């Protein structure tokens, strides 16, 4: 059975947007990490994450976001979460990541 995660990347100029749908957990976090690494290798000025259709994210997902943020900073890229579901918004608030990952 395939992990329940869908990723769509749109690139326009120097801005990349990754739309994520499904659950981000131990079984799907590697897929998300690989996708974000691939996008960052193309050195966009901005990387926007749309998490509106993410229904669940555990600590492995949080770790992937923090790793991507660190890599983005190293590449002089601004990574932001542009939208998220109420569940993920609450998770970002609880973990103190709202100020790091949102505009």
What predicted TM-score, i.e. pTM, was given to this entire model? Answer: 0.93
The CATH number of domain 5-101 is 3.30.750.24: yes
Read off the pLDDT of residues 41-97 as tens digits, 9 standing for 90 and up.
Answer: 999 999 999 999 999 999 999 999 999 999 999 999 999 999 999 999 999 999 999
The residues spanned by each domain of the chain are 5-101
**Spatial contact of 52 and 44, defined as CB atoms under 8 Å apart:** no
Q: How far apart are CA 76 and CA 46, in angstroms?
A: 9
Residue 26 has pLDDT above 80, yes or no: yes
């Amino acid at each position: 059975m395939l992990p329940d995660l869908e990723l769509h990347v749109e690139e326009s100029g120097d801005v990349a947007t990754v739309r994520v749908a499904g659950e981000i957990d131990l079984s799907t976090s590697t897929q998300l990490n690989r996708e974000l690494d691939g996008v960052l290798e193309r050195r966009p000025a901005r990387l926007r994450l749309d998490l509106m259709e993410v229904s669940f994210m555990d600590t492995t997902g949080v770790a992937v976001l923090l790793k991507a943020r660190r890599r983005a900073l190293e590449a002089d890229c601004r990574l932001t979460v542009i939208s998220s579901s109420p569940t993920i918004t609450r998770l970002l608030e609880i973990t103190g990541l709202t100020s790091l990952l949102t505009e």
